[in-house]
Amino acid sequence: MDKYLKVFIILAGVVGLSLLGFYLFSQSRLKPGQSTPEQIKFDEKPVGEFVENPEKGDLGYQEPQTKIEIGTQGVTKGAFEKVEDGNIFLRAGDTLTQLPLTIDEVAFNCTTQDLSSATELDFNLVTKVQVSTPAELGNLIPANENLVVFAQDVEGVIRAHTIAMDASKCAL
């Protein structure tokens, strides 16, 4: 009988603590229309409105530089020859340039700018940006298409990561 009394006391204690916990939880929950002592303060800047001096990420922010000169800062141009073994080949006059592609993905900037005579690329004329894998790249660019290619150092290798081409031929 002593054994059953101990089990009953322990069981009654567990049930009692559970009921007490449930009661305290139900009292701490807010009822509809009830406010808390401390309300959370949110930024009061209206969403979707222009601010006087927008910062990057704000509506109305303008990048200070929207044009980049071709031939500088890892930017080159030429007529598309081929993609082979993870490299893109461009021809500019008698010069054939070979650039390794990034391993995972290459970005396409589809632009309305005439790239055949361009000396700088104007990002304001980019109409669409799409991403492709290097393996699909050769099938997406028409032969002899004028391209502007952006490359940068990736783990000690200069790799092409972005290609700008005529928007009318961007069939991505």
Express the helix, strand and coil content of the chain in percent, nearest 5 each.
25, 35, 40
Which residues lie below 8 Å from residue 165, measured CB to CB, with a gap of 6+? 108, 109, 110, 111, 115, 141, 145, 146, 147, 148
DSSP β-ladder status, 157-166 and 106-111: parallel
Q: pLDDT per residue over 100-145, tens digit each?
A: 999 889 998 999 999 988 888 888 888 888 898 988 888 889 999 9
Q: How confident is the model at residue 40 (pLDDT cuts 50, 70, 90)?
A: low
pLDDT at residue 137 in the model: 85
Which residues lie below 8 Å from residue 37, measured CB to CB, with a gap of 6+? none
Q: pLDDT per residue over 15-34, tens digit each?
A: 888 888 878 777 766 566 55
SS3 call for 131: strand
Cα-to-chain-centroid distance, residue 146: 26
**C-alpha dihedral sign at 113, 119, 121, 124:** negative
